[in-house]
Structure 1
Amino acid sequence: MNKSAKVTTTRTAAIAAVAATTAFVMMGNVVSAAPVGPIDPVQATEGFLVMTEGNATLIGTENEGTLAVGGDLVFAQYQLAVVSAGNFFAPGENNPTALVVDGQVDFVNSLPATRLQVLQSGYAKIGNLTDTFVRNFDNNNAPANTRILPANDYDAAPRIELVTNQSVPSVGPVSVIDFAEAFQTFRSNSTELATCQNTVVLQDPNGNPISSPIPPGTNAVINLSSNTTNVLNINSTDLDNISVLTFADQPTANGPLLVNVNTTDVGDTFAWTAPNFAGIGGPEARFILFNFPTATALTLAPGGATVEGTIYAPRADFTDLDQSNTEGSIITRTLEHRGGEIHDYPFSTTLACDSASPTASPTATPTTTPSGTPTADPTVTPTVTPSPTGTDLPITGSSSGSMLFAGSLAVLTGTALLLTIGLTHRRRRSAGS
């Protein structure tokens, strides 16, 4: 056998061993690329900027867009629809609905003597009006802007105030959104998007790849490609250690950024101090989605910067304690808004990618065994190409939202096999000489 044939045999055997070992390590599944999407992750919001499956608490300070609450609502002094009342129109109505509460307005636990103002002539829809009074005439029986009250007194407080006269029957009791179905869709989307293969490598300002673990205070630079969904898979500890995230390229509708955040390293309870987002603002935030597929509790910690992008955490109780703003949609199981403003930059594109998804179940042992005894020239050794640094390997999701990160182990095992083969060749050549 000539030298070329020997080298080919060696590489073929090595590749076969890596493939078989990878299949075995990946939890009994053969991994192959599969298309995901295109997915519009916010389609089921019906156009609402912020949407919760359960309760919402609004303490400070405002939401420039709209709000749909699947449970009960507690509030303090707060403004809603500061910029836009949205585009959700109930049948037969000319004013958009800016506020939906599928449960009750909880006046007892709301802050006394406060008002939740719904601006831009937006309407409100309340699912349960128990112990609630709706009036569109004042205490002198004159027509007035509609108020939702804890007592049959137009000046009672705490209260919800509209800046338009909405008819009393129009307010409720009425259910206009199927929240259970919507959040089933959100969770399915979140899990599926989490399987997207990583395509983005973070770099330092000098252009060097940043490897994990990322040190605290890191300035990370992100380069984006056009005409594709850019995917960054990262664990929560690494994300929290980035103090500045600089965009060398701005995301667009055709080149959005999907950030899959694996929170299993912190038990799916993540307090995030948001970094400074350099090089982008609100208009670009419409094309960034932070996906937290398994998080059950998510907090924006005090002292962070403005988040540029959508918070997509349909399994999580979300608490905003940061006085900086969020520019993007918010989709979470529950919400406590105690921080800065929510700006009206809803997610505005679709996402599509290749995923590493289970397609078959192999036997418990590798079914492909290298045949023959490689006798390659000792000067020719297999070339091992490292995976991109600075990011986690692709996340593998399941219908239950579990995240399988066995890809790292598979690559390391395969690399060890390649090096072992090369070392065996050297020893055999040395023994025969």
Structure 2
Amino acid sequence: MESAFTRARTWIAIGAVLITTGAALTASAMAASAAETTDDGTTCLANPMGGSTPIGSDSGYTLYTTGDTVLANLELEGTLAVGGDATFGVKDGISNLQYSIFHGGVGGNADYDVPTIDEGPNRVLVNRFTPDPDMAKVVEVKRDGGQVDAGAKIVDQSAPAGYTFRQAFGGDGTTFYPAGGGNMSSQLTSQVQPWNDGAGATTFATEESTFAAYFPEDEGTAQLAKVTADDGWKTPTVSQPSNDALVTLDSSGPNLLTLDEFPASASKFTMTGYSTTSPLVVKVSPSDLVDGVLTLPAYGVAGKDAPANAAISYLLWDLSDLSGDVTIVSRGEPVRGSIYAPNAHVIFPRDGGVEFEGQLIAASFTALMDREIHTNLFYGVLPCADAPTPTVTPTVEPTTDPTTEPTVEPTTDPTTEPTVEPTTDPTTEPTTEPTVEPTTDPTTEPTTDPTTEPTTDPTVEPTTDPTTDPTTDPTTDPTQSAEPTSSATTAPVASDDDDATSDSELAVTGGTVPVGAALTGGLFVLAGVIALVIGGLRRVRRNG
């Protein structure tokens, strides 16, 4: 007949197996929720310029500011989003009466998609249209042959005072103008939004009441800060085979240079080895400014010159450490590449100002140069801003519980387990085991175990229990399996290139927690603990 000792060891062995299996299932569930992946199975990645992309849209704006913008340059071939006041034309800028906004392609690059606002294509989204009282300017959103018709929207139409809508002067579009004014009054006109007996006025309205409601939180700064030399940044090679510099990127990950690493004698540069996952980020520090002026080397290929112009979409000037006024100039060539300056007022000056070909995120922006602005969106990606919180919680338990439980268990478990487990763990397991065992031995465990368990259990329990949380997990795992679910819903939006043939199509993905696996793991752990309790009690009876 099987001895009580043998039966006790059998129960303990069963408990160890159940706990190990449960812990593995739970850890797997947590890992699945924590390691958000893109469609191709890689680690969670996102575009650091993603703050300019409206929620639900696949493309960002050429120019995006959270505050005011003044456009007094020649024209914009791209898209515009202004979170403050949008002013076109000032005395210090170009004096042309008309300011055109259209897709482009003759002087600049037309290979980009427009953002989506209220489920429709949008070229201009401004919080308020604020003309300069001393400089009349007719802003015209134009049709561009062969390109999508994308119009304008104004969030706050209560200003300027006295402005209203009417049919565009000399056309069938719609214009936002001062009542009683004429075709030379400051106004925002759209050729792509037909008047249609007044219906065109409604197309300027937004469904959301605030500009910010259309955009996700800007996590570019956090993303750039997260990537370090130890876990992400690669170091490219900079050489100067001719008058121009050559930057050879490490294709295994994102590359980082500081501005002072560019040869001072090179006014232009080109680069090789770029891709969605291996862009070049150039870090700019406050010490790089001279009297508030930042001089950037120019990329040596024009924004419209395909296919070599593709490199511009993988070049990012990181100005996240700068604040206040930052005047940007170049050494004779256009400024090319994307500018990330979320805390700065970026200025392209009237004197010395050059064309800008790229994408911009800034606190505010002023363009005064006698030049155009062209679109070359940034398509590089970096690791997501922060790791989902479920990765922390599951790893804390195994490292703390195993070191405390084997020594504490004999004195604390008999009094805590029978009362705590039935109230917190699933109601299916506790109805059989806990109600039988705890009612017989709770008064004998504390007096017997301290003298018997420490000499026998450490040789059996520690080999399995330290990796399985014998006493604490049953009270915490059911809540842990729920916690990652909430974390996953608030995890940073992740973006990746879901089409290997098109870097411009950045998908938005998110992770969810496999609750079933986590719950199953918890049940296994609970059953394992019950089995360990039964085995321990049988040993007690044998030794008693």
For Structure 1 versus Structure 2, the TM-score category normalised by the shorter chain is 0.5 to 0.7
The residue number in structure 1 matching 2:80 is 67
**How much does 1:162 deviate?**
0.9
Cα distance in 1 between the residues matched to 2:66 and 2:263: 26
**How much does 1:101 deviate?**
0.9
The residue number in structure 1 matching 2:167 is 137
**How much does 1:334 deviate?**
0.4
Q: Is 1:50 paired with 2:80?
A: no
Cα distance in 2 between the residues matched to 1:320 and 1:146: 31
**How much does 1:43 deviate?**
2.0
**How much does 1:159 deviate?**
1.4
The residue number in structure 2 matching 1:274 is 296
Cα distance in 2 between the residues matched to 1:132 and 1:302: 42
CA RMSD of aligned residues (A): 3.6
Taking a change above 3 Å as real, the CA distance of residues 286 and 248 of structure 1, as seen in their structure-2 partners, is closer
Of 312-321 and 219-228, the range deviating more from structure 2: 219-228
Q: Which amino acid aligns with 1:271?
A: V
The residue number in structure 1 matching 2:129 is 105
**How much does 1:328 deviate?**
1.1
**Deviations 1:111-162, CA, capped at 9 Å, x for gaps:** 22x22111233221112222253424258xx982111113344525111121
Amino-acid identity (%)? 21
Residues 187, 315 of structure 1: 8 Å contact kept: no
Q: Is 1:309 paired with 2:322?
A: no
Residues 250, 279 of structure 1: 8 Å contact kept: no
**How much does 1:306 deviate?**
1.4
TM-score (norm 2): 0.49
Taking a change above 3 Å as real, the CA distance of residues 109 and 318 of structure 1, as seen in their structure-2 partners, is farther
Of 314-323 and 163-172, the range deviating more from structure 2: 163-172
Q: Which secondary structure does the structure 2 equivalent of 1:144 belong to?
A: coil
The structure with the largest alpha-carbon Rg is: 2
Taking a change above 3 Å as real, the CA distance of residues 137 and 100 of structure 1, as seen in their structure-2 partners, is same
Residues 281, 317 of structure 2: 8 Å contact kept: yes
The residue number in structure 2 matching 1:147 is 175
**Deviations 1:52-77, CA, capped at 9 Å, x for gaps:** 01000000112211000010011033
Taking a change above 3 Å as real, the CA distance of residues 302 and 247 of structure 1, as seen in their structure-2 partners, is closer
**How much does 1:221 deviate?**
2.9
The residue number in structure 2 matching 1:126 is 154
Q: Is 1:299 paired with 2:327?
A: yes
The residue number in structure 1 matching 2:314 is 287
Taking a change above 3 Å as real, the CA distance of residues 325 and 200 of structure 1, as seen in their structure-2 partners, is same
Residues 298, 336 of structure 2: 8 Å contact kept: no
Unaligned runs of 5+ in 1: 1-34, 207-217, 356-433
Residues 300, 319 of structure 1: 8 Å contact kept: yes
1:41 to 44, 48, 52: 48
Q: Which amino acid aligns with 1:251?
A: Y
Residues 168, 189 of structure 2: 8 Å contact kept: no
Taking a change above 3 Å as real, the CA distance of residues 68 and 57 of structure 1, as seen in their structure-2 partners, is same
Unaligned runs of 5+ in 2: 1-41, 54-59, 90-97, 105-109, 144-148, 195-199, 304-308, 387-544
The residue number in structure 2 matching 1:342 is 373
TM-score (norm 1): 0.60
Taking a change above 3 Å as real, the CA distance of residues 116 and 194 of structure 1, as seen in their structure-2 partners, is farther
Cα distance in 2 between the residues matched to 1:36 and 1:242: 39
Residues 132, 148 of structure 1: 8 Å contact kept: no
Q: Which secondary structure does the structure 2 equivalent of 1:99 belong to?
A: strand
Q: Counterparts of 1:364-375 in structure 2 under 5 Å?
A: none
1:90 to 117, 136, 146: 117
Q: Which amino acid aligns with 1:289?
A: L
Q: Is 1:168 paired with 2:194?
A: no
Residues 138, 154 of structure 1: 8 Å contact kept: no
**How much does 1:341 deviate?**
1.9
Cα distance in 1 between the residues matched to 2:193 and 2:182: 13
Q: Is 1:189 paired with 2:241?
A: no
Cα distance in 2 between the residues matched to 1:276 and 1:92: 37
Q: Which amino acid aligns with 2:372?
A: E
Alignment size in residue pairs: 301
The residue number in structure 2 matching 1:80 is 101
Q: Is 1:225 paired with 2:259?
A: no
**How much does 1:232 deviate?**
1.2
Taking a change above 3 Å as real, the CA distance of residues 257 and 123 of structure 1, as seen in their structure-2 partners, is same
Taking a change above 3 Å as real, the CA distance of residues 37 and 335 of structure 1, as seen in their structure-2 partners, is farther
Cα distance in 1 between the residues matched to 2:45 and 2:277: 12
Cα distance in 2 between the residues matched to 1:194 and 1:290: 17
The residue number in structure 2 matching 1:27 is none
**How much does 1:188 deviate?**
2.9
Q: Which secondary structure does the structure 2 equivalent of 1:252 belong to?
A: coil
Residues 56, 72 of structure 1: 8 Å contact kept: yes
Taking a change above 3 Å as real, the CA distance of residues 179 and 45 of structure 1, as seen in their structure-2 partners, is farther
The residue number in structure 1 matching 2:399 is none
Of 35-44 and 75-84, the range deviating more from structure 2: 35-44
Higher share of residues assigned helix: 2
Residues 286, 345 of structure 1: 8 Å contact kept: yes
Cα distance in 2 between the residues matched to 1:122 and 1:79: 14
Cα distance in 1 between the residues matched to 2:237 and 2:117: 45
Q: Which amino acid aligns with 1:133?
A: Y
Taking a change above 3 Å as real, the CA distance of residues 194 and 172 of structure 1, as seen in their structure-2 partners, is farther
Higher share of residues assigned strand: 1
Taking a change above 3 Å as real, the CA distance of residues 138 and 260 of structure 1, as seen in their structure-2 partners, is closer
The residue number in structure 2 matching 1:205 is 241
Q: Is 1:260 paired with 2:283?
A: yes
Cα distance in 1 between the residues matched to 2:382 and 2:142: 32
Taking a change above 3 Å as real, the CA distance of residues 314 and 168 of structure 1, as seen in their structure-2 partners, is same
The residue number in structure 2 matching 1:11 is none
The residue number in structure 1 matching 2:461 is none
2:355 to 322, 325, 328: 325
Residues 244, 270 of structure 2: 8 Å contact kept: no
Cα distance in 1 between the residues matched to 2:239 and 2:215: 40
Of 224-233 and 178-187, the range deviating more from structure 2: 178-187
